[in-house]
């Protein structure tokens, strides 16, 4: 794909836009889109700080004739193009990078360093590929504007902040995304995919990504000398029991047919060999698909923590404090099943059945689900677009090598393949959903 596009672009320049296929129009845009991609890649911004990136999206959309509003839900961009009667289609790209120091060693790698709000100095990188999302958003905006004679309806394109903090979608909705701007019947997005062939499209009907909760447990105890444990209530032993008992939530209380994860990712207590501390702190990630399973897990964590503390003889005022980080909750992403199958069939006719592949759900999180979570009338779909050349996948498999995942400092997607595929997929789906006449 990398080699082909320049040739096609040269050919395309000699043809009138109307006569070109959508694929040709995408290829014609690719050199310019790659310039934008390289700029976005070299200048990543952390969640809530996507000012420069948002400015690039807003300026592009304005040039194309969209009605553009900035600073929606923080740094969010909303670009509306009204083009006659018909449905409202929302197309979303997220804009934030991650506090990861890029180690791909590629020319054009990010060298950006910042000090976070927490005071930690870190490199910044588009390690989740949101730079490919923004670039494809611009590609889609250009193609939708160039093909206005082929669709009728209202296109709402949004640049969303702070996906990595699970907050951006909620903030845009709370800032009036569906009251100040046309409310969609359809919501579309894509995410680049590691461990998936470049230029292939993955789709998952139904639950595609998980509910993600962050839970903190402060386990209180009574500290004292390590040689006199009888005079203490040891929070390390109690917290250890809690960690072990938590394992039975998923294995004994949730149906084996439902998906759930309770991982204790952090356990901190104590400072010295011979001192029993007076507290221990646990940090958990809790994942599920349905609301029922999520509520059961969160209630169960509180119940287990309290029950173990009572069993250890802690008084009421020293029971564990369990807090759920409400602001960082990412709800599960649900692809409307019939709609997803219809769109997958449509994409298959365009890209061929080798490039459109049904995928199992994953326990990762993505806040795109929020745009349709409270209104089941909104049909929603996020597709995956693969970013690893097939030869690289084959070689890694042969050598038993693990390829970098999303969020890895080594993640380097085949950007031209991702951007051209995503631009064509999003544009063709949007046109399909807003038929002319």
Sites of contact with Zn ion (CB under 5 A)? 128
Give the residue with the Cβ less far from Zn ion, 80 or 261. 261
Phi and psi, residue 82, nearest 5°:
-90, 125
Residue entry with tokens 């409310």: 183
Contact 206, 109 (CB under 8 A): no
Q: Is 192 left (phi over 0), alpha (psi -120 to 50) or beta?
A: beta
CB of 160 to Zn ion, least distance (A): 11
Give the residue with the Cβ less far from Zn ion, 128 or 302. 128
Q: Which residue is nearest to Zn ion (CB)?
A: 128
Residue entry with tokens 């595929």: 421
Biggest CA pair distance of the chain: 87
Count of Cβ atoms closer than 10 Å to residue 157 Cβ: 28
Contact 81, 91 (CB under 8 A): no
Paired residues of 381 in beta bridges: 188
CB of 331 to Zn ion, least distance (A): 15
Contact 194, 405 (CB under 8 A): yes
Give the residue with the Cβ less far from Zn ion, 128 or 383. 128
Give the residue with the Cβ less far from Zn ion, 112 or 128. 128
Q: Give a three-class secondary structure readout of 310-326.
A: HHCCCCHHHCCEEEECH
CB of 94 to Zn ion, least distance (A): 6
Rounded CA gap, 114 and 51, in Å? 14
CB of 406 to Zn ion, least distance (A): 6
CB of 168 to Zn ion, least distance (A): 11
Give the residue with the Cβ less far from Zn ion, 89 or 100. 100
Exposure string of 243-282, with b = 16+ CB inside 10 Å and e = fewer, is: bebbeebbeeebeeeebbebebeebebbeeeeebbbbbeb
Give the residue with the Cβ less far from Zn ion, 128 or 210. 128
Report the candidate in 225, 224, 221, 245 with the shortest Cα–Cα distance to residue 235.
221
CB of 164 to Zn ion, least distance (A): 5
CB of 161 to Zn ion, least distance (A): 13
Rounded CA gap, 411 and 397, in Å? 17
Give the residue with the Cβ less far from Zn ion, 9 or 406. 406
């Amino acid at each position: 794909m990398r080699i082909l596009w320049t040739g096609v672009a040269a050919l395309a320049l000699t043809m009138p836009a109307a006569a070109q296929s959508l694929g040709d129009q995408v290829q014609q845009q690719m050199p310019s889109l790659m310039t934008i991609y390289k700029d976005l890649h070299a200048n990543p911004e952390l969640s809530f700080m996507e000012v420069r990136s948002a400015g690039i999206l807003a300026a592009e959309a304005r040039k194309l004739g969209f009605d553009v509003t900035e600073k929606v839900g923080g740094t969010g961009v909303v670009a509306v193009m009204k083009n006659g009667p018909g449905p409202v289609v929302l197309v979303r790209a997220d804009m934030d990078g991650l506090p990861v120091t890029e180690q791909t060693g590629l020319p054009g790698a990010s060298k950006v360093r910042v000090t976070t709000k927490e005071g930690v100095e870190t490199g910044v990188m588009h390690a989740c590929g949101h730079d490919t999302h923004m670039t494809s958003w611009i590609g889609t905006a250009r193609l939708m504007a160039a093909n206005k004679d082929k669709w009728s309806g209202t296109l709402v394109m949004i640049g969303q902040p702070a996906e990595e903090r699970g907050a951006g979608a909620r903030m845009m909705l709370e800032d009036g995304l569906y009251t100040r701007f046309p409310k969609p019947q359809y919501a579309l997005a894509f995410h680049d995919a590691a461990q998936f062939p470049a230029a292939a499209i993955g789709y998952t009907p139904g639950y595609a990504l998980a509910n993600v909760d962050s839970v903190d447990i402060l386990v209180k105890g009574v500290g004292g000398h390590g040689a006199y444990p009888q005079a203490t209530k040891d929070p390390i032993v109690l917290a250890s029991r809690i960690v072990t008992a938590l394992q039975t939530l998923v294995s004994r209380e949730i149906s084996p047919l439902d998906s759930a994860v309770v991982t204790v990712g952090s356990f901190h207590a104590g400072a010295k060999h011979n001192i029993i501390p007076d507290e221990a702190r646990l940090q958990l990630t809790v994942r599920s698909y349905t609301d029922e399973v999520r509520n059961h897990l969160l209630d169960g964590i509180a119940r287990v923590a309290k029950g173990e503390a009572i069993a250890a003889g802690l008084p009421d005022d020293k029971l564990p404090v369990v807090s759920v980080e409400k602001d960082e909750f990412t709800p599960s992403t649900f692809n409307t099943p019939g709609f997803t199958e219809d769109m997958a069939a449509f994409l298959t006719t365009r890209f061929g059945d080798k490039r459109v592949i049904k995928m199992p759900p994953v326990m990762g999180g993505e806040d795109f689900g929020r745009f349709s979570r409270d209104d089941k009338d909104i049909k929603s779909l996020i597709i995956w677009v693969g970013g690893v050349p097939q030869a690289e996948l084959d070689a890694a498999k042969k050598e038993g090598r693990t390829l970098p995942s999303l969020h890895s400092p080594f993640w380097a997607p085949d950007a031209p393949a991702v951007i051209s595929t995503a631009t064509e997929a999003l544009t063709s789906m949007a046109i399909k959903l807003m038929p002319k006449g």
